[in-house]
Structure 1
Amino acid sequence: MHTRALSSIKLCDQAFLDDDMVIIGIELAVNNNCEELTLRSSDITSIGVTHLGLGLTINCTLKSLDLSGNPLSATGVANLARVLHHNSTLLKLHLNSVNMGDEGVQTLASMLHKNHTLDFLAISNNQLTATGLRALCEALETNTSLKFLHLSENNLGNEGGALVGRLVLNNETLRKIYMNSMGIGDSGLAIMLNALKKNETLQKLTVGNNFITDRSVQSIAEMIQANQTLEIFELWKNSLSDTAEERLRKISSRSKCNIVLFVE
């Protein structure tokens, strides 16, 4: 690979063998220019990502790493997390659809207790349960660097909403949380809305394609009135009537928060 002059390297939809990842890891170790490395959907295994991690222990320029769509498993994520415990360069980590499960996210939680640099974490579609999310939320209650959290497409339901609600109540760093397609209903949303009445830092919350109904509209109105920092609240593809959506549009027009009810 002759990529040492590039600041951004994107090699997606490949079929990397573990031996290929040895080479990429070596290149990462000596590359002083690359700030963004994207290796989505390229058959990278838990062994392959370990080779990549060895390069990452030496690299001091990489700011964004995207390994989404690779079969890393919990083992691969754990190996990567150990490397990131004391990394002071990487800012963004994309691990969507890597089959990490609860075991994998628990190792990320452990990493976030010690890492004070990472500000973006995307872990959508990873078969998480409340056990894994609880560990992550506990870590983020004391973490002071992470600003963006993408949890979408993990079927955590109302319990997931409740856990994130408690996180929002205690965290003063997060700016954006994505929770689309998670099976959240009115009771899970209610806990988040109550927390948002007191939160002074979150700027965007997305809960699109969930099971939120007209029963939440009054609570949404009360949250919007109390909260002074939320700028975007996405509610598209929920179970809201036309009457409820019209009321929410009026609420949005009278506040600084943009309530999004439709996306293309």
Structure 2
Amino acid sequence: MSRSPNPPEAADPRQLRRIIAEDPHWLLSTVPSLSNLCLQSIVNRFEERPIWEDLSPVHKDFVQERLSTSMPLHVTANLIHDGVYWKRCCEKWGGIRDLTHYGNSWKRMFFEKHMENMIELFIPDVTEPKTFVEMVPLCKDYIKRLNISQLLPPVTEPQKEEEEYGSELVIENEDGPSMDHFDFNIMLDKLTNLEEFHVVYRVKQCGLNFQCKMFEMTHRDCESLAKAVKSCKTLKILRLNLSHMEDTKCRLLVKYLLDHPSLRELDLSHNLIGDKGARAIGKLLNRSSLETLNLCDNNIGGPGAKALAHALGGQAIGKALLNNNTLLLLHLGANEVTWPSAIALSKVLVQRSTLKSLNLSCNNLGVDGGKALEEAMSNNSSLTECDIRLTEVEEQSASFVNQVVWTNQSLEQRRHARESKTKKTSTAVY
């Protein structure tokens, strides 16, 4: 028998071997286990038939690592616990924040960011409010803080001219928008765990579309916000900055904040609040449990020849503090506070021991105001922070105030050290 002129090539010896030891990257493909195949089937059909509670912790981890982050929230929100899945959802949004700011909860971070994004992109009379009505039941248990950095105004169409000769401009929609910005009454009272609420009425990156009204809250905005805050009984911190809030709006807001059961911090800095607004806030101090009040960069107190009359705003707050036993921090920096207000606040420092921090920087307290503070501080042992920079106070008065503050700080540190030592001793005994 003749041999074939072209004998077949020998088979690749690597294909005949089960282990290739000389190749560090070699890996034999194994048949997946039946349990993994079942779990992958659960992942693929999770939206149609979500199976979760019957899985073991190990199997839940398997599902969380593979489940699509585009899964509808009505399926996952109240079913999947805090873990890898919600971390992946946060990563999808881009830019993971400090987890400790969210109680070390990925789920809380996701839902807070998701709600903030929905509110910041809401366009009045364009976005359907029912989207929030549907979302709130899914996220209300996980949201403790909302930080709203912008609120979009309604879309205004250009005015159109009629074709007839000599016609005037006609606005098609004579009734106007149903709301000026997002109405927080839609959902704030339903967020039963909300404790912190920060909001700014402005539009970010508006570019050449800039209009002044993009950077201020309207009277209708203020009323709806005030009603929403009043309905949120768990709220502890309210910050409303850079929103052109003046006296009328401030008084309206305070009207709804009176006797709020849980509010502890109010920040209305960088607005246009004047004396009438300050008097309203003075009333709030007597009918609330505020511990922190920040009113820096406003118009409390007046310029020029009307300084004495306009300073009544600062005096009103000072008089209110005489009847307040809860306030720990007061920031009145960068206003128009003058020496009569400094005298009123000095009486507070003598008669009340609860105030721990006072900021009067960038005001015109003058020599008389400085002497009043100097005399008051000689009888005060509780104030551990007092900022009177750029206030036209004499250097001698400022030096004395600072020395008393340092002494009070040392006393406070010693007191904390004694309390900590006593606590450790009590723990060791039990």
Shorter-normalised TM range: 0.7 to 0.9
Partner of 1:6: 108
2:263 to 118, 122, 133: 118
1:149 to 283, 293, 302: 293
Give the deviation of 1:233 after TM superposition. 0.9
- Read off the aligned partner of 2:361 and give its amino acid letter: G
Contact residue 86 and residue 115 of structure 1 kept, 8 A: no
The 5 Å alignment of 1:238-257 reads 238-256=391-409
Residue-pair matches, total = 256
Give the deviation of 1:101 after TM superposition. 1.6
| 1:26-74 Cα distance to aligned partner (Å, 9 max, x none) | 5345412111111123436764331x33111211121111112433223
Cα distance between partner residues in 1 of 2:344 and 2:391: 17
Partner of 1:261: none
1:135 to 255, 275, 280: 280
Contact residue 381 and residue 408 of structure 2 kept, 8 A: no
CA spacing shift, 1:21–1:153, aligned 2, 3 Å: farther
CA spacing shift, 1:248–1:119, aligned 2, 3 Å: closer
| 1:198-240 Cα distance to aligned partner (Å, 9 max, x none) | 1121111111111123333332222122223222111122223
TM-score (norm 2): 0.53
Matched, 1:221 2:374: yes
Cα distance between partner residues in 1 of 2:224 and 2:251: 12
Tell me which moved more, 179-188 or 34-43.
Answer: 34-43
Matched, 1:27 2:135: yes
Cα distance between partner residues in 2 of 1:49 and 1:119: 25
- Read off the aligned partner of 2:368 and give its amino acid letter: R
Partner of 2:123: 17
Matched, 1:48 2:181: yes
Cα distance between partner residues in 1 of 2:337 and 2:191: 40
CA spacing shift, 1:25–1:223, aligned 2, 3 Å: farther
1:57 to 186, 189, 192: 189
Cα distance between partner residues in 2 of 1:120 and 1:200: 19
Partner of 1:184: 337
Cα distance between partner residues in 2 of 1:108 and 1:29: 27
Give the deviation of 1:93 after TM superposition. 0.9
Q: Which runs of 5+ in 2 are unaligned?
A: 1-71, 78-106, 155-178, 203-215, 302-310, 412-430
Partner of 1:168: 321
Q: Secondary structure at the match of 2:142?
A: coil
CA spacing shift, 1:171–1:252, aligned 2, 3 Å: closer
Give the deviation of 1:114 after TM superposition. 3.4
Q: Which runs of 5+ in 1 are unaligned?
A: 259-264
Partner of 1:262: none
Cα distance between partner residues in 1 of 2:331 and 2:128: 31
Partner of 1:201: 354
Q: Which structure ranks higher in relative contact order (CA pairs < 8 Å, sequence separation ≥ 6)?
A: 1
Partner of 1:159: 312
Give the deviation of 1:99 after TM superposition. 2.2
Cα distance between partner residues in 1 of 2:352 and 2:394: 28
Tell me which moved more, 16-25 or 80-89.
Answer: 16-25
Partner of 2:227: 82
Cα distance between partner residues in 2 of 1:188 and 1:244: 17
Cα distance between partner residues in 2 of 1:26 and 1:47: 22
Q: Secondary structure at the match of 1:170?
A: coil
Partner of 2:146: 37
CA spacing shift, 1:191–1:27, aligned 2, 3 Å: same
Partner of 2:210: none
Give the deviation of 1:253 after TM superposition. 4.0
Contact residue 300 and residue 336 of structure 2 kept, 8 A: yes
Q: Secondary structure at the match of 1:127?
A: coil
Coordinate RMSD, CA, aligned: 2.9
Cα distance between partner residues in 1 of 2:259 and 2:250: 15
Partner of 2:163: none
Q: Secondary structure at the match of 2:152?
A: coil
Tell me which structure has the larger Cα radius of gyration: 2
Cα distance between partner residues in 2 of 1:172 and 1:198: 11
